[in-house]
Amino acid sequence: MPFSSYIGNTRRGPAAAAAGGGTGWGQSLLPTALSKSKLAINRKSRKRTLLVNFLFANFFVIALSVSLLFLLLTLFHFGVPGPMISSRFLASRSSRIAKPRKSFNRRHVNGSIAGAAAVVDITTKDLYDRIEFLDVDGGPWKQGWPVTYKGDEWEREKLKIFVVPHSHNDPGWKLTVEEYYQRQSRHILDTIVETLSKDSRRKFIWEEMSYLERWWRDASPNKQEALSNLIKNGQLEIVGGGWVMNDEANSHYFAIIEQIAEGNMWLNDTIGVIPKNSWAIDPFGYSSTMAYLLRRMGFENMLIQRTHYELKKELAMHKNLEYIWRQSWDAMETTDIFVHMMPFYSYDIPHTCGPEPAVCCQFDFARMRGFKYELCPWGKHPVETTQENVQERASKLLDQYRKKSTLYRTNTLLIPLGDDFRFISIDEAEAQFRNYQVLFDHINSNPSLNAEAKFGTLEDYFTTLREEADRVNYSLPGEVGSGQVVGFPSLSGDFFTYADRQQDYWSGYYVSRPFFKAVDRVLEHTLRGAEIMMSFLLGYCHRIQCEKFPTSFAYKLTAARRNLALFQHHDGVTGTAKDHVVQDYGIRMHTSLQDLQIFMSKAIEVLLGTRHEKEKSDQSPSFFEAEQVRSKYDARPVHKPIAAREGNSHTVILFNPSEQTREEVVTVVVNRAEISVLDSNWTCVPSQISPEVQHDKTKLFTGRHRLHWKASIPALGLRTYYIVNGNVECEKATQSKLKYASEFDPFPCPSPYSCSKLDSDVTEIQNEHQTFVFDVKNGLLQKIVNKDGSETVVREEIGMYTSPDSGAYLFKPKGEAQSIVKSGGHLLTSEGLLVQEVFSYPKTRWEKSPISHSTRVYTGGNTLQDLVVEMEYHVELVDENFDDQELIVRYKTDIDNKKVFYSDLNGFQMSRRETYDKIPLQGNYYPMPSLAFIQGSEGKRFSVHSRQSLGVASLKNGWLEIMLDRRLVRDDGRGLGQGVMDNRAMTVVFHLIAESNISQADAVSNANPKNPSLLSHLVGAHLNYPINTFIAKKPQDISVRVPQYGSFAPLAKPLPCDLHIVNFKVPRPSKYSQQVEVDKPRFALILNRRGWDSAYCHKGRRANCTSVADEPVNFSDMFKDLGATKVKPTSLNLLQEDMEILGYDDQAVTPQQEGRVSISPMEIRAYKLELRPHK
């Protein structure tokens, strides 16, 4: 997303330009390696097996000798080391002389210990503790300081400058992806092919495969060949190569893997290259999950840009802008990846050549008069470079390059050259390439300048930098560094929350357009379910006839993957696009959701053995349909009611997407209350009926009923139930007992229920584990009482921030949130056999409340659900009454968390968060894609699980608050040009758990992230991967009692509880039949072994948890009636098979025997395999 917006149409002088000016913001770049199938990769052999064996055998003797020798040499060379950070510039440039390189072997131990922590030089927590956040004016580099150099820094090692031309193409922002393609991106790609072909010295990088794939479809064979040749000769590098440059705050790791794999696989299939450098110049903050996933995909280097301006300054002062990013749990250095952080305000040309934007802007030759871009806001404009002015111009530019290079350790310098949708015409591209070549020729022909400048790619830059780091040791005394690339510090942590200037924190986009953030996750779990079904359909099939149905769906499956991938773009899932673009994303996701549901409804018939050969075409309709339906892209999902007329039975089929058997209370909506539930053997199942309520205070009841029963569904399997009205020897569903506190008199009690009035100030609902106490006057939760009598105070509060300055990106509240709930309103409790519920339509200052909510507890008996409390909030900020309001729910507990809390990164790992008084409220808000918890020194933990990404904070001791929606009138000056006013009615669901630590109390002061408990992991998985319910389109006559449908149980036994199937898919379904000849495995299984906190183990049991993955997993007997063969490990993008490139510990990845694999806690592993039915 661009920044010109930032300057807007008013031209700002240098002072007003703050840190900024220019246009555009960012993208992510990654280098490309030609895949082995097309071009051999020359990689340094990273291990010498014999040497390693020898070293291990004599480890202690060698280690002791080397340590003593190293200590003596260090003291001799450096003297006694002082404190690590002593001055603004730790190592002056003159110290950049070749030193003998550290040579020591890092010892890797097989496997990792849950709870082990990385040893690093820098953590982002340390940086936050140290920085004062004073926003001192630094002069021309407003957010830095006046940068100087002596001039002799490059005498021993000349300055090597790589100018990297790029164009940031947002797949949707102010225009839709197709509008951008037609108006801009296709012309840019045409321009690149033409202008690079003229001169082999010209280089370029490209990131987004969504646009390249679209261009490739339109391009002539000659253009396709020209582009392929440019990639293969190194002039054009594909960096990142994902479908988009994904957001890193809201995206779930499933979707990140999907979107990168979709782009990388298309690229490899089409052109034969695999990217190895990542380029992420525009996401608004960075997650360490991304570093992990990229490393496990074979990426070697990353580039990032949008981090807090104070943090950039702190890192630049100590020459730490290039570092090795290591995961916080990684004690073995297997996750290390090299990172380059850009130092300045933006990725546009004024902010990339050096610290002075007024000077750099003069070298953006597309801003010369005659082009469409705005002139430089600082008043001095670029001019054509000629032989007459080249000496003066080159001197001015080289001065900026030298200043920028003093912020980094090496004498290899990266200068990006580009902006949003740049290089759109031949004239523009020629202006940049022509002028820069004249400047380069002048610099390179003057040896006294000690500099060499040329166009380059990321690969050129990182290769040269690594070569220099091999020759010259830039390590500081006492630095931990990394065995990957010596000479740079190691760092762990993440880069949220981003601020680009003053107190402008980008925490609003964690919540913007929450309706579509929810749709994103529904599409995700539906896609995963469809992929799993597709894998079983093809796995159990060994005749060409039964391949037709699944492979005929291949086109729509690919479209669904790409529509999910597209929405991961950093202006998609973020909620930061124009209204019509949001609509375009929404329609794409809605279309795919419908396609997937239709496919699944047919697939269940095949898997249950009831869809016959002749009906296996994609055309014949299914007998089933999804129980939850959406009428259009922006409508809330509704339960399709089951008519249940007398004498009829309705078939319900449940799909369990989990790796373990699910025992769970399930719910459907029915039109009649006099009904019974039977299982597939026509055995009676106890059930409960309760009235369906709605967000309408004039009519609380819909007239329909919610039917609940406890179901048991095999892992990854199907089970059938029947809903029957009529002559069966089963008890009817028991009716819930209703109690109310309401302004209505008389209360409209729905038939056939009995209602009684609540006459006390508090009311309770409970199950065998916990009692939940509510205040009747305001309908809010007050506390949780455990079976043993211990209590956790959880005072629920619903509040609003007033925020006239907030926008799609920024959260800028005026003061603190104010409670909106008054005494009065409507409260209804419903108690029954399986579900107890409190529904509240609160009284607020508005005639129509913006929120109503239900709290449920379950009594299924020995189910995971029994251990949670379900909070469902219905939110409607849909009219001007709520302009400039941001709605929150806050849980005020008695847990002494000292304003420290933990929130997840991308649903993959936890990050420790601390509320700082030195930064404003909005800077203490963090992303919450799926989980947040607080914990006290006495060992109590309170967790909130979500099924969509939102924003979270702990602003006072014991508080956890989550923002639900925001409606904002104004643009916040970041280029979008509008507020967020397209709010939809929506439902947010949380699962809350109160746990107590049963081993030792753990002080809040520990700086490392904490893992969720095993219970917490399973609760989150059940919320995010709900049971899929399908219902028969037509009822059957009750007299026909033939059990038509049984169950489907594909796993030989449930998987261990800490092992999660991220995805089980056929990567290339359209090529499935052709791949038999190639003899390559056609299935892919991606597994994640969860890291969990063993201190938090639910007393007495592990909630249906039979085992954990301490033993190797055996693929050969994982499936019932299916044999898994040709199992081999691969990268997470399914393209690399050299495990060393991916950083995995060798011993862990070599299957001890065919099909047996060990996975360390926290690791995600991908395997390719072939499936065949047992004879």
* pLDDT tens track for 352-376: 999 999 999 999 999 999 999 999 9
Can you tell me which residue has the tokens 């995206």?
A: 251
pLDDT at 81: 41
Distance of CA 171 to the CA centre of its chain: 17
pLDDT class for 113, splitting at 50, 70, 90? very low
pLDDT at 238: 98
Contact, 307 vs 342, CB < 8 A? no
Peptide bond between residue 497 and the one before it cis (omega within 30 degrees of 0)? yes
Spatial separation of the C-alpha atoms in residues 369 and 817, rounded to whole Å: 49
Spatial separation of the C-alpha atoms in residues 1095 and 1102, rounded to whole Å: 12
Task: Report the range out of 74-88, 1092-1106, 1112-1126 with the highest average pLDDT.
Answer: 1112-1126
pLDDT at 146: 98
pLDDT at 68: 62
Beta strands 684-685 and 687-693: pairing type? unpaired
Closest CA to 274 of 266, 261, 264: 264
Bridge partners, residue 740, by sequence = 757, 828
pLDDT at 573: 98
Q: Percentage helix, strand, coil, to 5, in the chain? A: 25, 25, 45
Percentage of the chain lying above the pLDDT 70 cut: 87
* Over residues 577-591, mean pLDDT: 98
Q: Six-digit token pair at 216? A: 């490739």
* Over residues 597-603, mean pLDDT: 97
Spatial separation of the C-alpha atoms in residues 775 and 838, rounded to whole Å: 11
Instruction: For residue 980, give the DSSP letter.
Output: B
Spatial separation of the C-alpha atoms in residues 97 and 838, rounded to whole Å: 71
Contact, 1119 vs 1052, CB < 8 A? yes
Spatial separation of the C-alpha atoms in residues 804 and 972, rounded to whole Å: 10
pLDDT at 76: 52
**H or E element in which residue 873 lies:** strand 869-875
* Over residues 403-410, mean pLDDT: 98
Q: Is the pLDDT of residue 242 over 60?
A: yes
pLDDT at 1038: 87
In this structure, of 73-87, 189-203, 446-460, 986-1000, the range with the lowest mean pLDDT score is 73-87
pLDDT at 1110: 84
Cα angle for residues 975, 979, 981 (degrees, 5° grid): 150
* Over residues 90-115, mean pLDDT: 35
Which residues make Cβ contacts (< 8 Å) with residue 165, sequence separation at least 6?
A: 202, 203, 204, 205, 417, 418, 423, 432, 433, 455
Spatial separation of the C-alpha atoms in residues 217 and 214, rounded to whole Å: 5
pLDDT at 1087: 97
* Over residues 135-139, mean pLDDT: 98
Centre a 10 Å sphere on the Cβ of residue 62 and count the other Cβ atoms it contains.
15
For residue 49, which amino acid is it? Answer: T
Closest CA to 149 of 447, 450, 506: 450
Spatial separation of the C-alpha atoms in residues 256 and 245, rounded to whole Å: 10
Active-site residue identified among 282, 348, 419, 866: 282
pLDDT at 879: 94
pLDDT at 1153: 63
Residue 1113 φ/ψ, nearest 5 degrees? -85, 135
Residue 431 φ/ψ, nearest 5 degrees? -60, -45
pLDDT at 1095: 84
Percentage of the chain lying above the pLDDT 90 cut: 80
Question: How many C-alpha atoms does 379 have within 13 Å on its Cβ side?
Answer: 6
Q: Six-digit token pair at 122? A: 């820098």
Contact, 1065 vs 531, CB < 8 A? yes
Q: Work out the mean pLDDT of the chain and round it to a whole number.
A: 89
Q: Output the CA torsion 557→560→565→570 (10° steps).
A: 180
Q: What pTM, to 2 d.p., does this model score?
A: 0.91
Q: What is the sign, positive or negative, of the torsion defined by CA atoms of 440, 445, 451, 455?
A: positive
In this structure, of 49-53, 241-245, 337-341, 689-693, the range with the lowest mean pLDDT score is 49-53
Q: Is the pLDDT of residue 970 over 50?
A: yes
pLDDT at 36: 33
Q: Is the pLDDT of residue 200 over 50?
A: yes
pLDDT class for 745, splitting at 50, 70, 90? confident
State yes or no: is 879 an active-site residue. Answer: no
Strands (E), 273-381: 273-275, 277-280, 301-304, 322-325, 337-341
Strands (E), 671-747: 676-679, 684-685, 687-693, 701-713, 718-725, 734-735, 737-741
pLDDT class for 1163, splitting at 50, 70, 90? very high
* Over residues 1124-1140, mean pLDDT: 93
pLDDT at 1: 61
Instruction: For residue 265, give the DSSP letter.
Output: H
* Over residues 388-417, mean pLDDT: 98
In this structure, of 115-124, 394-403, 694-703, 915-924, the range with the lowest mean pLDDT score is 115-124
pLDDT tens column, 260-273: 999 999 999 999 99
Q: Is the pLDDT of residue 153 over 80?
A: yes
Burial of 261 (0-12, 13-18, 19+ CB in 10 A): buried
pLDDT class for 98, splitting at 50, 70, 90? very low
Spatial separation of the C-alpha atoms in residues 1107 and 660, rounded to whole Å: 10
Instruction: For residue 568, give the DSSP letter.
Output: T
Structure-model confidence comparison of residues 1158 and 1099, the more confident one = 1158
Contact, 910 vs 931, CB < 8 A? yes
Q: Is the pLDDT of residue 619 over 80?
A: no
Closest CA to 986 of 961, 968, 966: 966
